[in-house]
Chain A
Amino acid sequence: MASAARPVPGSFAEDESHWDAAANRELLVMHCRDCGNPFWPAGPVCPIDFSENVGWIEVSGEGSVSSWVRFHKRYYEDDRVPYIVVQVRLLEGPRMTTSWTGESDPSIGMHVYVSFRKFRGVWLPEFGPAI
């Protein structure tokens, strides 16, 4: 029977470098070498100009809170509610949606920093205020 707990991220070739880097506590996103735009989520081509000339860049790990939600309903077994999911605008531009590491609530515009948490054998980037 399938687990009712949160799953690990799906295994997609275009994402591998992101997860490998997270295991090294590095935050990688993709960028287009033709138009110069960083982008997230990862994909096989540039989502701006369809270029195949894409690769990975390490980013600063800093950004600001763009939005956030708080789950009161428990959707996954083993989750403790309430819990927060935050949408962060990286300094470099793209947005990333992750779990929240802060003790208190985010506020939109708050400056945040990436950290990494091991979840069922996979390292996940997540964001919160400076420690």
Chain B
Amino acid sequence: MLPNTKQVAIVGVGTSVFGRQRSETPLSMAAVALRGALADAGLNSSDVDGLFTNVGSPLAVDYDRMAEAFGLNIRSTVQTWSHGRFVGTAVQSAVSALALGQCQVALCVGAVSFSGRGMVGGPVDHEGGRQGGGSHGELPHYGMTAPGAGAAMAFRRYCSRYGYDESLLSAVSVALRANAQHNPAAQMRSDLDSKLYSEQPYIVEPLRRPDFSLLSDGAAALVLTSSERAVDLQRTPIFVAGMQGIRAGRNEFIFAPPGLGVFTQTDSRSAPEWEVYEMAGMAGPHEVDCLQTYDAFSPNVIFVLERFGFVAEGAGLGWVNENSLRHDGKLPTNTSGGLLSEAHIAGWNHMVESVRQLRGEAGPRQVDNCQTVQWATVFGDSIIFSKELI
């Protein structure tokens, strides 16, 4: 029989500068972020005994190098497959380890150096050639490459199925750019409206450059511990109230809601996700004050709204054109600008923003009366962060 599980809270956050062409190594940026998070938490590096990350070398830092280089004594670690999509998974792994007492203080961190990468996809992508096709739908022998192409394929299908003009997608990148403009640390802060969007080149049609996440360099870190210990530390604890894992199966495609009808999916859409809300003791998405989502590509934002029941099936694209995703809008989403306009820190920037919003530290982009922030993705994982243990 497992021991009693503990509740978990985030007690510190830290970041490096985010930007392009930064000269610092990912290892040094990770150290900066960790130092900031520990100072924020009022803890020392000697307190850390859990280490959780998603992307590893060469674009980011492996767990073993960090542990060795930073003098950490780690007894519980998870490093996922090297893709940003697993940021929520990494945090959930930390929560599970802490809950079961496998570690006492968990560092969750991402430190990336993406901007020098040049191209995402094409001949440098070896994973695309795997048996059955790549994880984003790649089939290199047909020229089907780059994660954005899979998102493009899904979005075109969606617009055809639900009767939308594809240009309506501009609403996503425009809203998130507006959010980034309230974030002095954001990488991309130039004006963007639907007209400017329509003048941007297609990368993989129907997606244009603003629909593709940035390439960035930077690091962000969270420190988590048990709620019991958290309440004795110096910052307001941010509790993990609920979570659910990434989904997989024949009716799933990473960049589409289940049953949209792309790749191996059926055409039968699924009922909205409920597991994370039930675990958090919430009635549903309408109780969420702020959404943070993995916006590798703009359509992901439309699709997560439908997947989790913020909007009805097929209603997402229309909804974001009539309701605002801005920090002061109907559903504040990716309030620091997201991967699309803040920076691509493999989702760790969203986790830090979740905490800042709940602490009331988001300054000009603060969501009013922010009590609950939900991390949720088009591929189905979710975490509910709350100021109170429900």
> Which residues does A use to contact B, with CB under 8 Å?
2-10, 12, 14-15, 40-43, 47-48, 66-73, 75-77, 79, 82-83, 85, 87, 94-95, 97-99, 108-109, 119, 122, 124, 126
Segment at the interface with A among B70-78, B198-206, B330-338: B198-206
- Shortest A110–chain B CB gap in Å is 11
Pairwise interchain contact A97-B263, C-beta atoms closer than 8 A: yes
A8 vs B142: C-alpha distance in the bound complex, in angstroms?
Answer: 9
The residue from B123, B129, B139, B143 contacting A3, defined by CB atoms under 8 A apart: B123
A5 vs B139: C-alpha distance in the bound complex, in angstroms?
Answer: 13
B181 close to chain A: CB less than 8 A: no
Pairwise interchain contact B250-A47, C-beta atoms closer than 8 A: yes
B302 close to chain A: CB less than 8 A: no
Which of the four size classes fits the interface of chain B?
A: 35 or more
CB neighbours (8 Å) of B263 from chain A are: 87, 95, 97
CB neighbours (8 Å) of A126 from chain B are: 142
Pairwise interchain contact B160-A124, C-beta atoms closer than 8 A: no
CB neighbours (8 Å) of A119 from chain B are: 141
- Shortest B276–chain A CB gap in Å is 27
Pairwise interchain contact A69-B142, C-beta atoms closer than 8 A: no
Pairwise interchain contact A10-B129, C-beta atoms closer than 8 A: yes
The residue from B141, B153, B264 contacting A69, defined by CB atoms under 8 A apart: B153
Pairwise interchain contact A6-B205, C-beta atoms closer than 8 A: no
A73 vs B204: C-alpha distance in the bound complex, in angstroms?
Answer: 7
Pairwise interchain contact A76-B145, C-beta atoms closer than 8 A: yes
A-B contacts at CB below 8 angstroms, number: 115
The residue from A67, A70, A79, A97 contacting B139, defined by CB atoms under 8 A apart: A97
Pairwise interchain contact A41-B133, C-beta atoms closer than 8 A: yes
B130 close to chain A: CB less than 8 A: yes
Pairwise interchain contact A69-B152, C-beta atoms closer than 8 A: yes
Pairwise interchain contact A85-B132, C-beta atoms closer than 8 A: no
B122 close to chain A: CB less than 8 A: yes
The residue from B201, B203, B262 contacting A67, defined by CB atoms under 8 A apart: B262
- 21 A–B contact pairs at CB < 8 A? A6-B141, A12-B132, A41-B132, A48-B250, A67-B154, A67-B156, A68-B153, A69-B149, A71-B204, A71-B205, A75-B119, A75-B123, A76-B123, A76-B143, A87-B157, A95-B262, A97-B144, A98-B139, A98-B142, A109-B160, A124-B142
> Which residues does B use to contact A, with CB under 8 Å?
119, 121-123, 129-133, 137, 139-146, 149, 152-154, 156-157, 160, 201-206, 250, 261-264
A29 vs B247: C-alpha distance in the bound complex, in angstroms?
Answer: 26
A8 vs B140: C-alpha distance in the bound complex, in angstroms?
Answer: 8
Pairwise interchain contact A10-B130, C-beta atoms closer than 8 A: yes
The residue from A8, A47, A69 contacting B205, defined by CB atoms under 8 A apart: A69
Pairwise interchain contact A85-B141, C-beta atoms closer than 8 A: no
A79 vs B272: C-alpha distance in the bound complex, in angstroms?
Answer: 41
**CB-nearest residue of chain B to A68:** B156
Q: What 9 A-B pairs are tightest by C-beta distance, nearest first?
A: A75-B122, A67-B157, A70-B205, A41-B132, A108-B160, A69-B152, A72-B202, A12-B131, A9-B141
Pairwise interchain contact A66-B262, C-beta atoms closer than 8 A: yes
A28 vs B145: C-alpha distance in the bound complex, in angstroms?
Answer: 24
The residue from A66, A68, A75 contacting B261, defined by CB atoms under 8 A apart: A66
CB neighbours (8 Å) of A77 from chain B are: 123
**CB-nearest residue of chain A to B123:** A4
Given A71-B204, A75-B122, A76-B122 in contact, is the A99-B129 Cβ separation under 8 Å?
no
A70 vs B205: C-alpha distance in the bound complex, in angstroms?
Answer: 5
**CB-nearest residue of chain B to A48:** B250
Pairwise interchain contact B264-A47, C-beta atoms closer than 8 A: yes
Pairwise interchain contact A85-B142, C-beta atoms closer than 8 A: yes
- Shortest B128–chain A CB gap in Å is 9
- Shortest B15–chain A CB gap in Å is 31
CB neighbours (8 Å) of A94 from chain B are: 264
Pairwise interchain contact B264-A97, C-beta atoms closer than 8 A: no
Given A66-B157, A76-B122, A119-B141 in contact, is the A43-B132 Cβ separation under 8 Å?
yes
Q: Which of A15, A85, A98, A122 gathers most chain B CB within 10 Å?
A: A85
- Shortest B77–chain A CB gap in Å is 32
A124 vs B121: C-alpha distance in the bound complex, in angstroms?
Answer: 21
- Shortest B93–chain A CB gap in Å is 28
CB neighbours (8 Å) of B205 from chain A are: 69-72, 82
